[in-house]
Every structure is written in C-alpha cells, then in structure tokens.
Chains A and B, each alone.
Chain A
Amino acid sequence: MPWDRNQMAERAGQELQDGWYVNLGIGIPTLVANYIPQGVNVTLQSENGMLGMGPFPVDGDEDPDLINAGKQTITELPQTAYFDSAQSFAMIRGGKIAMAILGAMEVAENGDLANWMIPGKLVKGMGGAMDLVAGVGRVVVVMDHASKHGESKVLHRCTLPLTGAGVVNRIITNLGVLDVVPGGLKIVECADGVTEAELRAATEATIIG
C-alpha cells in the first residue's frame, strides 16, 4: 500500500531536526505539524508574520487578527513573535529558516519546482513560495507521485512555469522518498509495500544508482 496523506506527512516529520525554524506550505505540508517527533523542538514560521504557530483554536476562540498563510484561524504559543511581512521575508531570504516543506504540481530531476500556476487554467499566484525556495536552507517537496490522470509528476523537465530552478533537495511522495543529486534522482526509501521496481516504473525522471 502506498502512503496516504497522513503517512506522507508523518514521513516528512522525520525530516525535522531539533532547534530548527521551519515553514510548512499549504495542503499536506500543513499536516506535518501533527507529526513532529517526540523530543524534537521546532518553531513553525508563518510567512504572513509569525514565529511559533500554535494549533487551530477551539470553537469560539477564533480571532480574525490571528491567521496562518493559508488564511486559517490559528493560535499563539508562549514563544510566539509577530512581525511585518518585510521582516518575515528578510528571515526567509536571509537563510534563517532551516527548511521549507512544500506541495508541488511538478518536480524535475534537476531540482526544478513548479507549484504556482497552470497557464490559461489556474491563475492564483506564487504567494511566498518563490521567496521560500530561493531563501531557505533546505527544500522538501511532499506530493502525490502521479497526477489524477496517472502521469508521473516527477519529471525530466518541468512543463509548467517554475517556482524555482534547481531548488529541491528531497521529494516525498506516496510511493517513497527521492533525493535530488548530480545526474538525477536517488532513491532513499520506498513506501511500505512499494517495490523499487514499482517506484522506478512510476517515475519519468532519471533515477541513478
């Protein structure tokens, strides 16, 4: 059985290291907050101007002045700090955020990432994703291995407009974990019950080794 959304988020949680400041993107990456390993202390950054993001509020406690980058109501923690958007992206651009975990539409074997638009169809915008991939220490992508039509989203070259060129370090999909290395992708592990042959067959990108 390939991993489901929560298992992918749990696997992504293993990427977190004690003391890190981390930015989680919208979608499956948001779920990673539920799978921070025991004994690992990470501070979550929300690029709309907050370090130390807490859980969703209990019903009735929501505050319109307190939201995350997905515009969801959230809560603060004892270590929370607020700041403006220029300061927020100064810490992102300045390399102070150790890692970003982001969703993707396509990833390529050279580390190119596309996750912000489909020309003529979907025009939403890049939000903070371009700044994040250009600025943070490490970029981990979490996404389904294939599109709804069964086509590999792990490609030789991205077909969609890029969010960043050569920016992805690690890819976690429902089928396994791959690293971007010189010459292509390297299999780190397969999801439970997925064989290496199945992972290779589902991947358009060059897998080396």
Chain B
Amino acid sequence: MRKIYPSAAAALEGVLFDGMTIAAGGFGLCGIPELLIGAIRNAGTKNLTIASNNAGVDGFGLGILLTTRQVRKMISSYVGENAEFMRQYLSGELELEFNPQGTLAERLRAGGAGIPGFYTRTGVGTVIAEGKEHKEFDGKTYILERGIISDLAIVKAWRADPSGNLEFRKTARNFNPPAATSGRICVAEVEEIVPLGALDPDKIHLPGIYVHRLIQGAHEKRIENRTVRPRAAAEA
C-alpha cells in the first residue's frame, strides 16, 4: 500500500472521467486543494459536478475550472466572489444547486458515513425545501436531505504521514474532512509529508483510512480578504 505520488498529475491518473462528481475541500481560498485543481485543469476532464462550499475566485482555486468550462454544475452555499461564475450562471451555461452551508457539510459527512439521508430544520419554509420530503418530529417540521457520495474527493491538509493520516492547520480544516470522507477515492495534497511516527496519534484530524493518494507540494495560499490593524494602534 503505497499512497505517496510524485505529482498532482500522477496522483489523479486513472481516477478522472468526464461527467464525474468531485467533492473539494476549502472555504473561500482557505485550505483549497490548489495543486489538484491545477492538475484537473491540465487533464481537461469535462462536464464536472463539483460539491464545494465556494467556487474560488476568478483565476484562482475552482475559478480556473470555470474559466476553462470544465464544470457543468456546482453544489455550493456561496459564490459571491466570482464574476465568471455569475456570468455563466445567469446565462444558463452553468448549473448551480445552492445548499445551505451546514447542509452541504452534513451531506458530505453523511455520504461518507454510510447515511443516505438526514432530516434537518435548515431551509424549512424556503425555496430549499421545495420538492423535498417534509416530516414532523416532536411537533417541528424537518426536511429530508441526501448524503453525497463523490467519485473523487480532493482535499488539502497541512501535514500527512505516509499512511495518509492528516493534520490540518487552524481554519484551513473547514470542509476538507467531510469532503474527504465522501469520496470513493480521496486524493490529499499537503505542505509536508513527515515520517511515520512523527504525528501524534492523538492529534490526527483525519485518519488515513479515508485518504488513498497523497502528494506534497508548495502552496500559494492566497489571502482573499486581508484585514489588519495598524501595528502602532495595536501596541498603544
């Protein structure tokens, strides 16, 4: 069982096909699998359905797969930072399924956990509930949401060991663990692969059972909305 691959392209060999469903980790541009996204662009795989909280920005993150028209449908909660996305959506070129953020996270988690559906209060009385089963529990109305099993999950972590155990850093964890578990195959990209035994087994955020292929690489880690206080004011 060898999980480490020499490049993003090599790690995706044999797993990409037109019309597939991909779950991608990340929140905004934080914790996104930028190397694997680039390799999917280079592979030219088309008609993709992508479940991801956001769609990147113009020219970075999943935005690059929109530019190349490789995406048929997005399943997302928020797409506000991407002009090309908006243009393709409003012109009918791109399908968009809005999911509430927590519903999307739970759909991925449930799919990976062998749970085909779950009832939630989220979205009751809104357009999100249209066409979905409604059911009362203890006097409150819930709607049925389905788990998502993806053909491929692409995620980004901070560190991994060769067995695929992953450690994330701060808020870059976000959708990566639920997205990873939803995948029939999960490919993870990390900043550093450390030797077996270097990760504390008590501090592993995602066990290697969910991770099938692994690459290490340099990440740009672009900041979407840099917000700071002036140093002088903070020290005053």
Contact = CB atoms under 8 A, between A and B. Distances in A.
Contact of B229 (A56, A84, A162): A56
A65 B172 contact: yes
Contact of A127 (B29, B77, B224): B77
Contacts, number: 186
Contact of B225 (A46, A71, A90): A71
- Interface size grouping (class) on chain B: 35 or more
Given A65-B170, A125-B76, A89 B105 contact: yes
A29 B132 CA distance: 32
B227 A84 contact: no
B124 interface: yes
B2 interface: no
* Majority SS at the chain A contact face: loop
A168 interface: no
A134 B106 contact: no
B106 A67 contact: no
B31 A131 contact: no
Given A85-B174, A164-B126, A67 B30 contact: yes
B164 interface: no
A50 B231 CA distance: 24
B89 to A, nearest CB: 6
B227 A72 contact: yes
Interface in B171-187: 171-178
B157 to A, nearest CB: 11
Contact of B78 (A82, A127, A164): A127
A40 interface: no
Interface string B132-172: 00000000000000000000000000100000000011111
B180 to A, nearest CB: 10
B7 interface: no
A201 interface: no
A165 B134 CA distance: 15
Contact of A125 (B79, B170, B227): B79
Contacts of B125: 112, 162, 164-166
Contacts of B228: 56-62, 73
B112 to A, nearest CB: 9
Contacts of B120: 93, 134
A179 interface: no
Contact of A82 (B29, B127, B171): B171
A66 B171 contact: yes
B55 to A, nearest CB: 10
A163 B102 contact: no
B101 A65 contact: no
10 A-B pairs with least C-beta separation: A89-B102, A165-B125, A131-B102, A124-B80, A125-B78, A130-B100, A72-B227, A85-B105, A128-B101, A64-B221
21 contacts: A62-B226, A63-B170, A64-B222, A65-B170, A71-B30, A72-B225, A72-B226, A84-B176, A85-B101, A85-B174, A93-B102, A112-B125, A123-B86, A123-B96, A125-B78, A126-B98, A131-B100, A131-B122, A134-B121, A162-B127, A163-B126
Interface of B: 27-31, 53, 76-81, 86, 89-90, 96, 98, 100-106, 108-109, 120-128, 158, 168-178, 205, 221-231, 234-235
